Structure 1
Amino acid sequence: MMTNKLTPLVQSYRQQQRCLAGFNINDIYDLHAVALAANELDLPFMAMTYPPVAELNGTYLCRKMVDGFAQIANNDIFLHLDHSTSVDLCKRAIDDGYDSVMIDGSHGSLKDNIAMTKEVVAYARSAGVSVEAEIGKIMGRDVVVKSEDDYLASVADVKALYEEAGPDLVAVGIGTAHGFTPSTPKIHFNRLQEIANAIPAPLVLHGGTGIADEDIQRAIKMGIAKINIGTIVHSTYMREAHKEIDADIASAYPPVVMKSVIPRVQAVVLDRLKAVNPHL
């Protein structure tokens, strides 16, 4: 069984009002950029693979990719499966050595969410893998919400999920959204405080791309111990790669293109790390 270093870390971060930044990565180039930025500030980070990335590349290859970059990292890199709605994919990631998996049952009933989370937690425990669950909804992408009651995490539901299924981290719907948003998301800090008072688990804030720095820092003081950041990273990567390729598509060569792109992605990651760690 591997040693679980992640759960004690985020538990201590909640107590210290600190936060672990998780970045959605797709390949060696954006992972390289994140690792360089984290080294610059001497921080650990979480490399998160969204299900399409885990399915396309395979969870085994994703594990080996992160293992390679661990050789140049000054601190721990935690490999995480992000937003999996599949129990089987979570189990595959656990078998292939992921440090953490997220089972997202937030789109179903509370009963089904608890059952799915409980099954993944039971499977993960013997392997020393952390489990993140979600309650409420994170807006954006294909998530449709009709009212606040439709996306805000219920305190009673949060308690039920945590007490009955036992996840190590809990992502909560408090008004954030995935991706770029036309306006700054309205975070319901009162609900966040109620949830933080109700359970001791480290809480997770999704939708880190569009959240104002001051809101990130306020949320960390209220129990958020992990934040997910994705869209700003991959959109910068794709935009800057496109610029380089389009400048001379006939002779574009991946190592040359990426040598220019990586520092630009690194700068964006560095900016988000500073927002999450204002004490540095």
Structure 2
Amino acid sequence: MTTNLTELLNQYRKDSRCLAGFNINDIYDLHAVTLAANELDLPFMAMTYPPVAALNTTYLCRKMIDGFQNIAKNKIYLHLDHSTSVDLCKRAIDDGYDSVMIDGSHFDLATNIAMTREVVNYARSAGVTVEAEIGKIMGRGVEAKFERDFLASVSDVVAICEEANPDIVAVGIGTAHGFTSTQPKIHFDRLREIAASISHPLVLHGGTGIPDEDIQKAITLGISKINIGTIVHSTYMNCVHSEISKDIDSAYPPVIMKNVISKVQGVVKDRLLAINPHLAS
């Protein structure tokens, strides 16, 4: 199997397969994701939000992935997620990221296209995959909160692909970041229209709250990468809190984090099986 990310995702689009992307924050949740992926013999994408990249630096994020690649059975792809900064994308590219997302969805279409084109042009010589976004992902998260006008326009998707030529495209089709009070409604008709209009691999954001059957249906309609974050960091933080609360004066990080890693690993494995149901025993 190829390790070139763009080639892999194009093949996944043809084969109705999907790469899982998990938002990670440090070595502990990355360790958990790596172990879960090893259990199922799968590659995965480790994604860093801009605040994570800013805190740890894109350089150290790259080194962190390099370290865990030594225990991973398959390729770990490092991705900058939801960057609204062209400069941050360039810095991540310079520091060896495999993929960057330039999120211009908060701006008008012309600005979004211009931002995406600038990142694409910078990334090409480095062989780095570029993700663009059209439409908006609902919910309150690192990015913003949207309540209407969130669906990706087919004509806008075609325009950004033709004028900026990103490698993959995240499309707003009704999903939401984080936990929501109601189940997100995926607009499969819009997804079908988008998939019929372009051959690019499509990305589904907000993977935490989507029912397994909807994930699997979306993959058959062109989704080649799915982003999962909230369930990972919420499990992590809740487990840390629970472990520390037992005896805060005697709490010892190696013991606590071993339990946290195990808990997160189980959650990640569950999501990987939702994306790859054929691997369930």
Aligned twin of 2:55: 56
| Change beyond 3 A, Cα 1:252–1:146 | closer
Give, in whole Å, the separation in 2 of the partners of 1:260 and 1:44. 24
Q: In the alignment, does 2:5 pair up with 1:6?
A: yes
Partner of 1:143: 144
Matched residues, number? 276
Q: In structure 1, how many angstroms separate the alpha carbons of the residues matched to 2:170 and 2:104?
A: 11
TM-score after normalising by structure 1: 0.97
- Report if the CA contact (8 A) 2:65-2:78 is conserved: yes
Given that 1:118 and 1:165 are in contact with CA atoms closer than 8 Å, whether structure 2 keeps it comes out as yes
- Paired AA for residue 97 in structure 1: G
Q: Which amino acid aligns with 1:251?
A: S
Which residue does 1:223 correspond to in 2?
222
Q: 1: distance between equivalents of 2:147 and 2:211?
A: 24
Post-superposition CA distance 1:102-150 (Å, at most 9, x none): 0000000000000000000000000010000000000111634343xx1
> Matched residue of 2:278: which SS?
coil
SS at structure 1 position matched to 2:64 = helix
CA apart distance, 1:223: 0.1
- Would you say 1:120 and 2:156 are equivalent positions? no
- 1:42 paired residue number: 41
User: 2:189 aligns to what?
Assistant: 190
| 3-state SS in 2 of match to 1:64 | helix
Report the AA paired with residue 128 of structure 2: V
- The residue number in structure 2 matching 1:253 is 252
Output one character per residue of 1:207-242: Cα deviation in whole Å (capped at 9) or x when no partner.
000000000000000000000000000000000011
SS at match of 2:177: coil
Question: 1:209 corresponds to which residue?
Answer: 208
Q: 1:4 Cα deviation (Å)?
A: 7.0
Supply the distance in 2 between the matched residues of 1:200 and 1:279 (Cα, whole angstroms).
25
Deviation at 1:183, TM superposition (A): 1.4
Which residue is equivalent to 2:83? 84
SS at structure 2 position matched to 1:272: helix
Matched ranges for 1:138-177 at <5 A:
138-141=137-140, 143-147=144-148, 150-177=149-176
In structure 1, give the amino acid aligned to 2:144: V
The residue number in structure 1 matching 2:177 is: 178
2:237 paired residue number: 238
Q: In structure 2, do the counterparts of structure 1 residues 146 and 66 end up closer, same or farther at CA, with 3 Å as the change threshold?
A: closer
Q: Which residue of 1 aligns with 2:278?
A: 279
Report the equivalent of 2:130.
131
Indicate the residue corresponding to 1:73 in structure 2.
72
AA aligned to 1:180 is F
Q: Matched residues in 1 for 2:116 and 2:150: separation?
A: 19
- Paired-residue identity, %: 76
* Residue 93 of structure 2: aligned partner: 94
Q: Please say if residues 138 and 147 of structure 2, whose CA atoms lie closer than 8 Å, have aligned partners that are also in contact.
A: no
- 1-structure distance, mates of 2:7, 2:243: 42
| Distance in 2 (alpha carbons) for counterparts of 1:57 and 1:227 | 24
Which sections of structure 1, spanning at least 5 residues, go unmatched?
none
Whole-angstrom distance in 2 between the partners of 1:184 and 1:14 = 26
State whether residues 139 and 146 of structure 2, in contact with CA within 8 Å, keep that contact through their aligned partners in structure 1.
Answer: no
Alpha-carbon contact 1:4-1:130 (below 8 Å) kept: no
Query: Residue 252 of structure 1: CA displacement?
Result: 0.8
Taking structure 2 as the reference length, what is the TM-score of the superposition?
0.97
One-letter identity of the residue aligned with 2:43: P
Moved over 2 A (4+): 142-147
Aligned partner letter, 2:137: I
Please say if residues 4 and 129 of structure 1, whose CA atoms lie closer than 8 Å, have aligned partners that are also in contact: no
Rounded to whole Å, the distance in 2 between the matches of 1:277 and 1:118 is 33
